[in-house]
Structures are given as structure tokens and as C-alpha cells.
Structure 1
Amino acid sequence: MNEHDDDVSMSGHEERKELAAGLPDWGRLAVPIPPHTGTYYGESDESEGAHLRDYWRAVRKRLWLVVGVVVLVTLLAAIYMGRQPDVFVAQTRVQVDLEIAGASVGAAKNQSVIINNPVNDPTYFNTQLQILTSPGLLRRVAKTLDLEHNAAFRNTQTGGGRSTWRSLMKTIGVGDPAAPLTAPKDELPLTSSVAPAVSREDLAEARRLAPYVNALQAGLRVEPVKETRTAGYVKDTRLIDITFRHQDPQVAAKIVNAIADTFVLANLEKKTETNTSTGDFLQRRVAELQSQIRSGEEQLANYAKNNQIITLDNEQNIVAERLTGLNRQLLEAENERKLAEASYRAASEPRAAGAIADSTSKAVDDARSKLDELRQKRSKLATRYTDEYPEVVEVDTQIAELEKQLKENRGRATNTALTNLETRYRQTLAREESLRAALSRQRGETVTQNDAGINYRIIQQEIATNRNLLDGLLQRSRENDVVLAGTPNNISVVDYALAPDYPVGPRRTQGVMLAFLLSLAFGAGLSLFLEYLNDTVRSSEDVETLLHLPALSVIPTAGGTVGRLLPGARALQRRRHQIPTGDERPELLLNVDQRSPLAEAYRHLRTSVLLSRAGQAPRTLLVSSSLPSEGKTTTSINTAISLAQTGARVVVVDADMRRPCLHKIFDQPNGQGLSTILSSEMTREEMLAAVRFHEPSGLHLLGAGPVSPNPAELLGSEQMRNLIAALSSKFTHVIIDSPPIVSFTDGVLISTMVEGVLLVVRGGKTPRSVVRRSRQVLSEVGAKVLGVVLNNVTLQRDDYYYYRYYHSYYETKPDGGVAAEA
């Protein structure tokens, strides 16, 4: 060791002596302390149930979640209520008196009976309330006001400030109901054999107006008149208030007045339905008779005209003259047909086809003339040249093309001529047949003309009879109109609505406050639910209540303590104590402020360990955990450092032979170690010689050594017991770091060889069931569990508020000094 190393070693010993000054020799402490019983921890005079403060802590622990929910929901509610348009209410009042039976036309001619019979039906008033909101009545209102084309009504019902909110609601699946499905093409019959039910046109109209009827029903409210003060229904009255809510005050007043007028009119139509039906029947019958009379007169005139009836004496001469003319025309048609037939048959002969084409087609004549010229030219060239001469070949080609063209023209000309002759023949034949049929009909008409006078007189008698019936129906129709005019209506409008001046909603402040309260309750409930789902060990109270073990200490997270050093102090301290840096190095007590909560927590753990047994502090300790990454190695080292600060000789043994890390933390060689000792026969001196002293920390270290294929067999051997005995004879405290208990049996085997076991639990991470299992395993083998070390706990939580008080106790004064201790 060089001079610099000697200085560092001496300074390290001096620091440890200063830290140990004033502390008692805990290794020689022999104060009788009552042992912990199995029922001490977890039992209390108070009830173990939840208290209001527990609920408050659970909510406060997730205060930002509650605040976030409240702010988000309240903000959305405020935006939504702010985008809601003003709503106006218009009111119309109608009066429904006792029903009076209508009048009907009397049975006797020119008599009518008027019956006034008040009917006091208790269900009649409630029936009228239902009729006011029925789709049929509202459909008439929609048609009367033409709401389909009313821009003021459609814009407020389909658009406006609610489009964004409706889109958001539709996105998450709770928006407006889906549009009605399109009606199928093949529908059930809408009429029966008895009487028509509803036409397809009415059904189509009802579907088209359905959105407007739904909008009217949504804004409509019908109820008996109420008292202004008590808001209760007024007794012994037959007044009905009709109110309608809408964003446009003019539209609201117009619609509610239209509903009242339509209601009054519909009631009157219902009361006069019988007489109206009678009047409709009479009007239809009158129209039918008038149509029959006009038709009869037209039939009589046409009959006389068609039969040439001017006078009944001259009708036979006219028919005979018509028959003679048809005979003459038929003879002429037969002669024309015979000539056309002869020409067509002659042209159909094969020998006559060429002659017909040559005589009828100019194209054929031109082609023949040109062909003759080419043949003459060919004859002249043949006398001078051979057949292969180019000019001769060209002429031959032209002759061949012209002959082909001539043949095609002849064929077309022949077909055209034959078609024309055939058409002429068929026309003459059709004319002959038509005249023959007309002659046959005329002969039949001539036979029936003798009855023309009788038929003429019959038509005249039918016209006279219909005129008599028409006069009687007109008289009955006038009587029915008199009855309809005298029918009373028991429903009337008392007060029509005026356009309201002030809106009645929406209640924006109440809506926002309700959203605030509901979101607050939901956020609190959500935080309590998350707290209920959290099945981890979170506080010392959980340890004592669930495991019935003492919580020896609560180790806070190191992130908040290292930052208390001045800038660069941590790196300087590492260099000073020769502690290597790296991502795998834990936070050791040598690197933190000794006034930090982390250092105080390990001093508290040291005190708890030294006072954990009556008479004498435990010399051999096993530090283990239930699961990996709970901080057992860090706790082992820091506990050893804290004990070494009292001046005691402490050795740390790395018994985690599956994942050894002690040599990495202190940057020590791992060629020989625990596995070497346990796998070979060594004397006590040879065992102790394998222990190395780490001067910066003041600890003696025994690494795990090379990785063994059977660590459980080695750790459970008699050699392991001999090693522990040898170490405890030389060192004040032996700290053994073992693998997790639940995962491997290594720690369980070692727990039977030591005087005490420290169980490290990571706060807020380790499940309670796993910790209970570890406690059960250790109890089954008879291990002496001293207590639980709750590691890596966040001091900001309410469960550890006393550590925050300690932290603030050492806060630096504004002038740079330290607050005086009380």
C-alpha cells in the first residue's frame, strides 16, 4: 500500500471513530428486553377495520387522480353547458268541457233530431291528455306548419351548439339513437277484405314526418293547470296547459298554438264524424249520378250518331247505302291483289332474277359497261404481251374485282325487287281482308238495325231515372249540412301563447356544480377502488397486521437523499472512499448525507437489530427477501456499514451463489470465496484467510466465489455451519446475503444456522401473499425471524409522514446554518 493509500485508510479509520464516538458498545449490550410474542404485532385495542382517516389517506395518496377527474369532467360539463343554446317555453291553455253527444239526421225525410246529452266520464279528461301528445295529432301539426321546410325549426333541431357533444357521445357509443331502418320493399298488405286500414302513401308520409313528430314530442309537455304558489294541480277544473320548449321563442309560440288549434279541430271532426261520413257519402253519390247522367246523354248522342239516327224512319236507307259501297270496294281490292300476286310469282322464278336485276338497277348496268371495256383492253394487251406482264396482271385484277362487284350488285338488286313486289302483294291482300271483315260487320249491323229504336228509348228512360235520384240526394245533402253547422264543440282555446321574452334554461350553474360533485365522488371512489386493488405491503402497519412481525425499519428511496449533497460532493465522496461507480452499484451509506432520512433509517434498523434479542444482540444474521430485486443486497451492505460505524468488526458473506454481486459492488476479485470453502476441506485459519478487508467501508468481505452447479447442497452442508462458527468467533457480526426465499431453498437452509433472519420487503411492490408464504416457510423450519425491513419507500406518502418530519428537522437555515435540535 502506498503513502496515499495509507492516508486514505487512516482518514477512513478516523471518520469511523468519530461516528462511533458517543455510541454504546451494542455488541456488549446485555439489557433484558421482553421477547416479542406472536400476538403482539397485529393486535390492538382498536378495531382493525377501516377508519375515516384510512379513507382520507387513500384519497390523498391519489389526490392528483381525483383532481384530474374533477377538472376534466367539470371542464367538459362547463364547455357543454356553455355551448347549449337558450331554451324558451311557450304556453297555451285549453278548456275541455263535458262531452255532448252530436246530432244526426233523422230517419224521416226532411227531419233532423238534435240530442244534447252531457257525458261525465272520469276517463275522458285523461284521454284528452294522451291525445294531445299522440303522433297522429302532432303529424297534422307538422303538416300544417310545414316543418319539413321550416328553416327555423330544422336548424335548431338538427344543428346548433350540440353537434360537437353529440359527435363525441356517438364516438363512445352513447350518442343519439340510430336512424330508423328503411322500410322493406315487400310489406304486408295495408288493407283488408273488410275495409281499408291505411294507404301506402299515408305510411310513407308518417315515416317521413317521424323525425319532426319525435322532435315535437321531446319539447311538448301537457298537464292539467297548476297553482302558481304550490305547483300542485288545481282541483275541480278542466283546464289543460300545453307548453313547448324550443330555442326560438317565435317558433315555440307558433307550434304550441298550432297544437291547440289542431286539437280543437280534431275533436270537432271526431264529434261530427258520423254526419261527415254521411255527407261524404251523399257528395260521392251525387257526383256519381251527375257523371252517369252526363255519360247517358253522351251515349245517347253517340248512339244516334253512330247509327245514323236522325229520325227513326230514315235509318234503314243509310245502312243499305253503306253496305253497297263496301261491296264495290271489295271487288276493286280483289282485282288489285290478283295483279300483285301474279307479278310477285313471276319474279320469283330463277330465270327471271337476272333480267329483273338488269332492268331495275343502274349500278348493275354501269358495272357491265365497265367490265366490257376492261375485257376489250385485255384482248388488245394479250396480242402484244404475255400473261405475266404487269399491265396485263393489273387489268386481270380489275376484271376480277369488277366481276365480283357485279355479282354482289345483281344479288342486292334482285332481293330489293322481290321485296318490293312481296310488300305490294301483302298490302293488297291485307286491304282485301280488311274490306271483307268490314262488309261482314256491316251485314251484321244491318240485321240488328231493327232494334235501334228500342235501345234508343231505353237510354232515354235511364237518364230520366238518374235525374230523379239526383234531386232526392241533393235535398238530403242540404239537410246534413244544417246538422253539421249546429254541432257544438266542448273543447276550446282559453289563452293563446305569446313569444316568451326570457329563457328558462339551460341551468348552466346547476349543471356544472352537479358535474363537479359527481366527478368528485367518482374520483374519490376510483382512488378507493385502486387502493382496494393494491395487494402489496405498503406500510409498517401492514407488516405488523398481516405478518405479525415487527417492522424493524422503513428504508426510504435513495433518490431524494443523495440530492441533498452539494454539487459534485457525491463524486468527490466516491473518489475519497474509493467506491467504484457504475449502473449496478447500490446506494451505500458512504455516499449519502449522514443527516438524510436514508442514513437515519439504517441507524434505526441497526438499533432494532441490536435490541431484537434479550440479553445479547444477534451475532449471525441472514438477510433475505421473498422475490428478486427487493434490495436485500443493498440492505445487507448498509446494515453492515451501520454496525461497523459503531466500531464493531463486521463481515459480509455473499451466499447468493446463483447471482453473486458483492464482489462487483466493492470491485473485488472473485477467484476464491464461499463456494471454494464449502467445496473443499479447509481448516479454520484457511477459512478466515479467504476473508478480505475493504478499508473504505470498514467491512470484511467474503465473496461467493466461482459459480457452483449445486449451491443448495453446499449451503446446507456441515462445512457451512463450521464456516459460520469460525466467522462468529472472530467477528462481532456476521451478515449473510442469500437468494430469495420463495424462488430457492438456499436461504431457508441458511436460516436454521443463524441467530436471526431479516426479511426485506419492497414497499408497494411485493404482494402480500408472497410475503406470507415466505413467513410461513421460515416458520416451518424453525427460523428466528427478527422482523421485516420495508425497503424503497417513497416519503411523500402519508404512511411515512414522520420521516418527512425528520427530514425537515435537519433543513438548512436561510443563513447557511443547521436548525438546532430540540
Structure 2
Amino acid sequence: MAKKNNSNSDEINYQKIDNNFVPSLSMMNQKKDEQIEENNSFSQFFSVFKRRWLIFLTVTFGVTAGVAYWTYQQSPIFQGKFLLLVEKQQEKSDVNNNNNSINGNFSNSSPTAVDYNTEVEILGSPSVLVPILEEVAVKYPDVFDDINLPNLENLTIKQLENTKIIEVAFQNENPEKIKFVLDKIADNYLAKNLADSKNNVNEGLKFVRNQVPQLENKVISLQTNLQNLRQQYNFIDPQAKATELAQQLASLEQEYLSSQIQLQQAQSTYNNLQQQLQLTPEQAIAVNDLSESSKYQSLAKELEELELEIATKSAVFTDISPQMITLNEKKQNLIKLLEEERKKILNKQFGEINDRESVKVSSPNQIRSKLIEEMLSKNNEIKVLETKIDALKKALEELNKSLKQMPTLTRKYTDLQREIQTNTDSLKRFLETREKLELEQAQKTLNWRIVSPPSVKEEPIYPVPVNNLIMGLIGGLILGSITANIVDKLDGIIHSLPQLKELTKQPILGQIPIHKNINSVEDVIRKALPSFNSDSSVSWMSKTPQPQEYSSSYWIESFRNFYTNVRLLGSDSIVNSLVISSPNPTEGKSTISLNLAQTAAAMGQKVLLIDADLRLPQLHRLLDIDNDNGLSHLLATGLDLESVIKDVPQWDNLSVITAGEIPPDPTRLLYSQKMQEIVQQLKNSQTFDLIIYDSPSLLGFSDAKIIAPNTNGLILVVKLGKSDRDSLQQVTEQLKISNVPLLGIVGNGIKYNDHTGYYRSEYHNYYKSHQNQLHSRS
């Protein structure tokens, strides 16, 4: 778990690595990177300037001197001008009442305001200027060459912004000519305005007089159409008519609904009566007519009594007895008389009915008669309601049809009203315009006047030495910067960390500075050893951070920062096996490999440094140890791995495998199955916390690309001021094609006054300010 020490100013983070707490440089790196990013543009420019200052100053001085020489070779040019107030006739009185109105905003002018853009074009057209210049040519024949129609090279005509004023300016080397030309132009412009005013008024008046009768006829025609529309559809206002129809429709719909309800009620009552009486409407009418006939009712009663008598005597006599025969004959006679009477009453409206039914329906019954009357009444009521509903339905259809027509009628009505209003307004405006034009025709006054007479400035407007020199200097600086950048880019050499990061798109893991006071790699190692001895690592790597007087050597601190970045690379697993290489030879990869190993060892890590450069090994010379029984012997013979691992004097935690004897074919050895097994064995073992392979340069050799896939990845060392863009791009492309994981970049050979100048001072100041905090944690 990370530990923190809080203070009022800043905060130190501690990263736990292999059960030891070490101050984390990630916050320091973040702060540094943010500052470098903010000053990136300026720093790049400053770096380019330092490298190409001679080109920059030469171009800047040359451009400035050239502009200065050209300026003092030019002939002076003078300028004169006059101001012309341009307005319409109706605005004249306002100008006379308020002289400040000449500076008023044109947006407040009347709808008939001057089109100033068009007016400017007309005043500058050849048709206007040629007659004027012909007058000037009598005294100055070269005036046409000066102005060069229609381009108007030296004559400027423009409207002053947000005013009613037109400015006319003329440039020339002769001030007298300028004054003469401007006087002629001013006089002719005023004369032109007077003539144009008369012509415009006459033409406008003629046009208005032609339009007025046409508008009057059109208004009359539209009013007639509106009147016909109202008469045809019988309305004054379509909106009111629509409201009236809507009310009628609502009333009829209510009445229609009420009638349907009444019809349903009458049909229900009628059906109940019909079910009780078991009669059709025709039968009910017949029964009612028969019940009202006294003769028919008398015969029916007599027949009913006779049937009762027959029924009584049939219990005593047989059907063939004389008494029964006489009664039956009498019954048949009564039935015949009853049928004749029925036919007489009903006029043969009904068919045959049996005797008993005829007697039943025609028997006098007061209740039955009332029910029959009610049934007939409901039947009549149903017919009346059905007739009423049919009439209401037709009325509703007519109203709906009329309502559907109302939107169309309303649109026609509105269109006619709008056209009438529009044409009436137009007619009114034309009449008013006619009166105004007639008044203007009678006045015959000028609309334009000179508010500032022609005058010529005493000082020339061209050239302006100060402005030209300033512009020349600015142009020289810009051109010098561009030239210096172009030359720098064409150079192809990588000079700065931003260039390196932009080309590789990879994180910068380390920034290794140049040591100007150290002449050889051996001196560097010898001077660095005291700061990296094992004794100092004890206090440094104790579980509880102790106060430490950090070395003043920024070079040594850069390796500590480099190692910390490497340790923090892995998110899921710690990076414990890596290859260090460079695009080209002599970029410092071996020195950096050695010092990274020493840094890790000084921080308590078990480190194995392997010299995998079987072509030009360096590590045994740098460490001053023998090169017997090295990597080549391990791969080519049956030596055991432990037998080739050598301890480094004065470094308890650092071991090394030297290259051994240079083989005839290093690539074959490195590509062997045994080499892959050794790399995997070392990576998976718990013996060493970090294994570093120092491999040959990447361009021309595949050694590093053979080893790297079996490790956590490859770190690329680039020497600033030596490595070129093409080589670096070629190497990165090769690594992508080979699927070699590139962990990051190390910038070697950084100057103190480059980006790292900030880092160096900030680094030491930061840690110095927190020494007391570290002491308090011990």
C-alpha cells in the first residue's frame, strides 16, 4: 500500500516495491510533464534558434535591410480629398436644422433612402468621370494615365461608415494637380446631382400618374368580387356565418338525438303491446273496426251463445241427433252471416279467419280496446318520429356541407380583403408620392452639398519609413523563423524530446543528460559508484523511509527516475525482463544498460545484466571484469547457467553475464532454442528481480528483435543530436511488423539548458524541501 506524508505545500507519495517503500517520482514526473507540455512550443522554438541562430539572424537582417533600402528609394505620394453629403430631398430640412445629422446613422433614414453602394459605383463609372477628366486634361494631359479608368488606381470613392457622407480622395506626386482634379470633380458632381434630381422627379411623377388609375380600377374590381361573394353565399362576415351554422348544427344534432331516443321508447312500448295482444298493426285496426260494429258484435255474441248451447247438449245428444243437427246448421248460418258482415266492414282487407278467432278478436272488451288504441297510437307516433328523423338527417347533411365550404369561403374572403387593403394602401402611397414629387418639381433644389472642400495633406502618405521598417522587421523575424525551421527539419537529426515523442508516439521513460566534465564512460561509472554503493542502499531501501541527502548529480538522479518509471510500467504484472537497444551504434545503450542495472541494485533489487551484444560487447570493459565463459559459451557449449553468472565487485545485488567470445554467427546462437529457454527460465525464476539484456543496434541486426518477444519488451535508446528521423521511423516500423512490444523511449544526451533545465532544478528543490518530512517519518 502506498503511504503519504501530508504537508501544507506538497505531498510525497511512497511506492511499495518488493516489500520496500521508496519515494515515488510519478507525481514529480507528472508535474514536470505538464510544465513541459505548456512550454512545448516556446521550447521547440528556442531549441531551433540555438541551433540555427545564424540563419535566423541573417534572414531577419537581410529582409529588414532590403525593406529599408526599398523605402528610401520611393518617391513621395500626396493625397487630397473632399467630403460630399448625399441625401434625399425630404431630408434636406433636417440637415439644415441640425448640422450634426451628417454623422447620423443611415439606418434611421426613410424607406426612400439613398443606395450608397450604387451611388458610389455610379460616381466612379467612366460615364461620369470621363467628361470630368477631359476638362482636367486641358491642363494635365496625363491625368488619364494617373487614374487609369475603369480601375481608378489613384482615385478612391467610398461612403464613410454609418454616415450619409461620400469621401472622394486622389493620390499623386503633384499636390497642385491633386487640388485641381478634386475641384473639377466636386463641381461636376454637384451639377450632376441637380440634373439627376430634375430627371428623377419627372420620371417618377410620370410613373406615378400612370399607376394611380390602374390601382383605382383594381381596387374597384376587388370590391365588386367581394360583394358578389357575400351575395352568393348570403353572409356579411364568414366568421359570423360559420358561428351561426355551428350553433344550428349543434341544435339540430341535439334534436336529432332526442328524436332517436323518443323513437326507441315508442318502439319499445309498441313491441310490448304487440306481444300482449298478439296482433299485427293491420289486425289491430281490423279488431278495432269490428268491435265498433253493433251488428257484428250482436252476431258474434249470438254465435258464442249458440256454441255454448251446443257444448252443453253434446253431453246429452249425439252429433246425429235431430237437436244437434239443428244447432250445427244454425251455427253455420250465423258464421256465414258473421263472415259477410266482417267482409262488409273490412272491405276484404283480411283473409280467412277461423270462427273462434273471429269471435275472440271481435268480442267486446274495454281493456283490450284501450290496449289496441294505445298500440295504434304508438304505431302512428313511430311513423311520425321516423319522418322527423329523416328530415333532421337531411338538414344535418346540408349544414355539414355548408360548414365544410366555410374554410374555402373564409380564405377567399380573407384573400380579397387583403388584396383590397394592399392595393388601397398602395394607391394611398402613390397619391402621397405624387404630391411630394409635384412639390419637389416646384422647388428644384440640390440634394447634395460639399461639407468639406477639396484639400491636400502636407505630409506624404507614402512611403512611411517607420511603418515600413517595423513591417520589414516583423517580416524578417517571421521569414527567419520559417527558414530556420525548414533548415532544421531538412537536417533530419532529432534534437529534442518533443520531436522524439512526436515521432515515436511512445512514453519517454528516461531523460539522460550530457556530462561535459567527464571524458569517458569509465569515469562516469567510477564517479557514480559512491552514490550507488550497497551501504547507501540499506538506508534507502529500509521499510520505513529515512532522511537521505540526495546526490547533487542530476545525471545519477535521472537514472533513478528512469528505473522508477520502468518499475511502474506494468499494470497487472511487474516488468522484470527487458531488452535495451538503439537504432544505431554509439548511442549509449550499453552505458545506459549498465547504469540502469546499478541504479536498481542500489535500490535493493537483485539485478542480472546480460551482454547480448555478441558483435561488439562493451560491458566487460566498462565493469573491468574478464570476458571468459560468457553468453556465447553458454549457448554454444554445455556450460551451466550458474557457471556464467559473475558477481560485480562492490555491488552485492548486481550480477552480470558477459558476452564471451565473439561467435562467427551471433544471430544463429541468439535464435537457438536454448537461448529462448534461458530467457524464459530467467524471467520465470525468483532469483532476480530485474534482468536486462544489452543488445546490438536495431538497424542491420535482428538480435534485439529475437530476444525481446520472450521478455516484457524493449526499451529504445535514442541519442539526441545524433539519431536521425529516418532511422528512428524505420526502427519503429520494424518493431511493429515483428510484434515486438516497445515499452518506451530513453532520450540520451540531453543538455542541461534544454527542457530538463526545469526538471533538474525542480527535482532537487522538491526533494530538498521535503527532507525534514522524511526525517519525521523515520
TM over 0.5: no
- TM-score if structure 2 supplies the norm length? 0.40
Give TM-score scaled by structure 1 length: 0.38
